[in-house]
Amino acid sequence: MTGPRRLIGMACAIAVVSFLHPAAARAAWIKAETDRFIVYGDGRDKAVRNLAERLTIFDATLRILNPAVGQGVPQRKLEVYLVADGRELRRVEPRLDDRIGGFYRAAPQATFAVVRSSDSVMGADDVLFHEYAHHFMLENFPAAYPGWFIEGWAEYFMTAEVTWKGVKVGGYNENRAYWLFHAPWLPLETVLSKSPSEIEPAKRHIYYGQAWLLMHYMRGDPARVAQINKATRAIAAGEPPVKAMQEATGLTILELTKALRGYRRLPMLMVKPPMEGPPQVTITPLPATAEAFLLDNLRLATASVAQPDAALLADIRTRAARYPGDRLAELTLARAEFNFGDTAAGEAIAQCRLKEAPGDVELLYLAGMGQILAAERAPDTHVERLRAARKLLGKAYALDQDDYRILLAYAYSRSAEPAYPTENDLNVLLEARALAPSVQMASVWAGAALIKRDRRDQAVGMLSGVANNPHGGPLPAQARALLAGKSMAEASRIAAAEPDEPGPGEPEKPPAPAKPAK
């Protein structure tokens, strides 16, 4: 027996061995789950539970302060991974350095945040709350906001102090405050008109500090709240940011800068306990393999097949061999094979497990994505692979119609067909975007499909928010190209030339932060 058939036999034999000798059940990692979040951590029950509770209370606070959002429970809970240090962060995103305290990703295959529990330049809560504020904004009111507004909004809410007595909003981060006092400011015109990705990396911390201060100032008085709302509406309609801000406030840039430099007493909001009682948290011990493979799965979910990682593949193969028959180990190995290695080996694992559990949605999704990744790696089999993927993804969708990942993958599997996009294809993309507005790839694909269906006005609204993404990178470049009239193929080539920035760095921690008066 040779080729894939032999591999299937080996995989199934492994599953039998696993039944006889199950993997150790020691809970090196645990899962804490609320109605909105799933938090994973390395066995520190109290820390993981506490983080799940704080996040849930923070979310409730954001909903009270943004009442138009409502109280609906999301279709898919946000996953948060609490890791020990920068080394574990780099298991997910190798480009990060030790100044980074955490990051957030909203990608076609996964939406998650990773935050380190050890001390970093920014406080752990500040990092996580900043990233969740981005997620909250994208999920609940996506629009074409200016870069400073997006970052200033996240910076304003990230310093929330969550206690059982209530949540205090409007404080400051000591690192940001230090640099506002001790470093030259960027011209306010620059902050208003550019995104952080357009700022020299060594000066981005100043941009973030000024964006926070401007947001705090504008939110510090009801009259100024009305002014900032007017300015952002004008900017979304195409007004130049500097002109829009001057007209809304009635101040010149020089006068607004002077007002910000004199803004020292920070008005604070105290939100009484936003929930009737402590959040309900369910703790679940995870198998020993969670420590070995959970973070690798995140890495593989956001990895590009155009940049194969031979070292990661070899490492996963070695580690997976230590856990014969373990579901997480095998699924991680299958993903690694689909991404960088032997497609037939990945197929063998998926087919064997589907034989045992034909209704396993995650397995069906993984097998379908395996065919899509194979199509990307071998263009000569592109159409055949995508059609094979569609069969598997159709079965997954029949079992779970609320998973945006399945819908996006299914839409992509249709993209090589001559009639694409049909009205049904467009409906699939729009439904995926409705389920996960924070996944900006969904907006790009849906926007491109709308343009092809002669619905450009609707496409403009959808693509503009992506084009204004303050972090830059391939997706905003792709959205801008589509808005400029480029085809999807041309826009994809333009996007491929853009660097994909892992996220903003943080300056070295100052020795003695200066504190503004309260």
**Residue 472 confidence (pLDDT):** 67
Contact between 433 and 448 under an 8 Å Cβ cutoff? The reply is no
> In percent, how much of the chain has pLDDT > 70?
90
Arithmetic mean of pLDDT, 86-92: 91
> Cis before residue 67, ω within 30 degrees of 0?
no
**Residue 43 confidence (pLDDT):** 73
More confident residue, 472 or 32: 32
Contact between 1 and 264 under an 8 Å Cβ cutoff? The reply is no
Residue ranges of alpha helices (H) inside 21-110 are 45-65, 86-92
**Residue 500 confidence (pLDDT):** 66
Q: 3-state class of 39 per DSSP?
A: strand
- The DSSP annotation for 391-444 comes to HHHHHHHHH-TT-HHHHHHHHHHHTTSTTPSPHHHHHHHHHHHHH-TT-HHHHH
Q: How far apart are CA 344 and CA 217, in angstroms?
A: 58
Arithmetic mean of pLDDT, 141-150: 85
Cβ-based neighbours of 75, under 8 Å, separated by 6 or more? 402, 404, 435
Q: How many beta carbons lie within 10 A of that of residue 272, not counting itself?
A: 8
Contact between 281 and 34 under an 8 Å Cβ cutoff? The reply is yes
**Domain boundaries in the chain?**
418-503
Q: How many beta carbons lie within 10 A of that of residue 233, not counting itself?
A: 13
Question: 170-186 burial by CB neighbour count: b if 16+ within 10 A, else e?
Answer: bbbbbbbbbbbeeeebb
pLDDT, the chain, mean: 87
Contact between 100 and 87 under an 8 Å Cβ cutoff? The reply is no
- Indicate the pLDDT class of residue 45, thresholds 50, 70 and 90: confident
Residues 187-200: pLDDT tens digits?
A: 999 999 998 888 99
- Indicate the pLDDT class of residue 501, thresholds 50, 70 and 90: low
Q: How far apart are CA 440 and CA 137, in angstroms?
A: 13
Contact between 217 and 263 under an 8 Å Cβ cutoff? The reply is yes
> In percent, how much of the chain has pLDDT > 90?
63
* For residue 257, pLDDT beyond 50: yes
Q: How far apart are CA 332 and CA 341, in angstroms?
A: 12
DSSP conformation class of 77: P
- Indicate the pLDDT class of residue 27, thresholds 50, 70 and 90: very low
For the chain, first and last CA: distance in Å?
Answer: 76
Arithmetic mean of pLDDT, 284-305: 94
Arithmetic mean of pLDDT, 99-107: 87
The whole-model pTM stands at 0.87
Residues 441-459: pLDDT tens digits?
A: 999 999 999 999 999 999 9
**Residue 443 confidence (pLDDT):** 94
Burial label for 217, CB within 10 Å (0-12, 13-18, 19+), is buried
**Which of the residue ranges 7-21, 95-109, 222-236, 250-264 would you say has the lowest mean pLDDT?**
7-21
**Residue 471 confidence (pLDDT):** 75
Burial label for 81, CB within 10 Å (0-12, 13-18, 19+), is buried
* For residue 516, pLDDT beyond 80: no
- Note the residue count of the chain: 518
- The DSSP annotation for 231-297 comes to HHHHHHTT--HHHHHHHHHS--HHHHHHHHHT--S---EEE--SSSSPPP-EEEE--THHHHHHHHH
* For residue 18, pLDDT beyond 50: no
CA-wise closest residue to 367 among 417, 330, 319: 330
Residues 157-195: pLDDT tens digits?
A: 999 998 877 899 999 888 888 889 889 999 999 999 998
- Indicate the pLDDT class of residue 298, thresholds 50, 70 and 90: very high
* For residue 412, pLDDT beyond 80: yes
More confident residue, 276 or 204: 204
Q: How far apart are CA 248 and CA 238, in angstroms?
A: 14
Cβ-based neighbours of 157, under 8 Å, separated by 6 or more? 62, 129, 130, 133, 169
Burial label for 451, CB within 10 Å (0-12, 13-18, 19+), is buried
CA-wise closest residue to 427 among 405, 441, 445, 400: 445
**Residue 145 confidence (pLDDT):** 84
* For residue 376, pLDDT beyond 80: yes
Residues 325-374: pLDDT tens digits?
A: 999 999 999 999 999 999 999 999 999 999 999 999 999 999 999 999 99
- Indicate the pLDDT class of residue 24, thresholds 50, 70 and 90: very low
**Residue 12 confidence (pLDDT):** 53
Q: How far apart are CA 54 and CA 48, in angstroms?
A: 10
Q: What radius of gyration, in Å, describes the C-alpha atoms of the chain?
A: 24
- Indicate the pLDDT class of residue 403, thresholds 50, 70 and 90: very high
**Residue 66 confidence (pLDDT):** 87
Contact between 227 and 195 under an 8 Å Cβ cutoff? The reply is no
* For residue 86, pLDDT beyond 90: no
- Indicate the pLDDT class of residue 397, thresholds 50, 70 and 90: very high
